[in-house]
Chain A
């Protein structure tokens, strides 16, 4: 989402600049050379279209709803676009160490899959939470305990600044062992 923000921000800036430029151009043209007005946008046609509309007209309401929804989406992009770094403890005061949630999930995933009884595993990680879903051909309860221990071991080994909550679920997969 940070990518969308990076794209959206200069775009909104350019739209604002364009509105300003067109307003200035049209006002100056209409004032100094009324014969060649409208120059860029057909604003007299827009003004005629607005004539006879009241605030409760359907068209006005539709446009207002569209503007509101666009505003809400832009607002959401601004709220969602933040970094999701996983902080590691700082070795010395002037060094900050981080890792990505994906890389944490990869490290946990490797460890879980290296367990002989796990046939498949998926891991989703964030700074606060690590969710492991694994499949096994054995009794899920026993494997679950073993997987949990392994995940705890990985998280102990990594110098994470905040220890995430771990949730492990193991399901039985059909197949021949």
Chain B
């Protein structure tokens, strides 16, 4: 359960990072290999071979149709992979609605913005909270809550926690009739000036 709340902290960049790291590695390896090849590390003979190698161009000339098909299929594969990649990383993070009942004919969901607004309004009532932001994350089957809370200077974090869990989240859990609602809370300490006088 705590894994789900930890996953709700922020949108995961694991996939983007993996792709970017892979791209970087491939480019770096290509560059290094060609430089080493040019310096004759793999044999001085090989370093003197032309880039458009006669062995390769002869093979292409001998298998023109096969080469074309390989190039076309390779090109289409790159196109599909590249577009999928771009679309996946540009797609906004989904905000799932919460499913209350799945009985056929009585399917009941609560819209994500209704939940987010209710929880936000509740959280902003807490003493010491100057601003709150709430959104649903995850999937419809496994929703989670992400909140950001801005605290007034000098507020005790533990008091705010107790209020968030004991009142705000308890109400949300009760409303959706769930035992546990995974939640990631981001706290911004001392975000707003205190109204108490500094000099006494």
Contact = CB atoms under 8 A, between A and B. Distances in A.
Interface of A: 2, 5-6, 8-10, 12-25, 27-28, 31, 47, 50-57, 60-61, 63-79, 81-83, 85, 88, 90-100, 103-104, 106-107, 110, 114, 157-159
A158 B157 contact: yes
B133 interface: no
A28 B85 CA distance: 25
A83 B184 CA distance: 15
Interface in B66-112: 68, 71-72, 74-87, 89-90
For the residues of B in contact with A, the DSSP-based class is helix
Given A28-B72, A88-B187, A60 B77 contact: no
A98 B83 CA distance: 35
Contact of B85 (A10, A23, A85, A91): A10
Interface residues of B, number: 78
A51 B57 CA distance: 11
Contacts of B156: 157
Contacts, number: 247
For the residues of A in contact with B, the DSSP-based class is helix
A97 B49 contact: no
A56 B46 CA distance: 9
Contacts of B26: 71
Contacts of B79: 17, 20-21, 24
A83 B23 CA distance: 21
A85 B9 contact: yes
A47 B56 CA distance: 13
Nearest to A73: B24
B158 interface: yes
A60 B2 CA distance: 53
A21 B79 CA distance: 6
A172 to B, nearest CB: 25
Q: B5, B16, B25, B32: which has the most chain A beta carbons within 10 Å?
A: B16
Contacts of A50: 51-52
A110 B19 CA distance: 41
Contacts of B182: 94-95
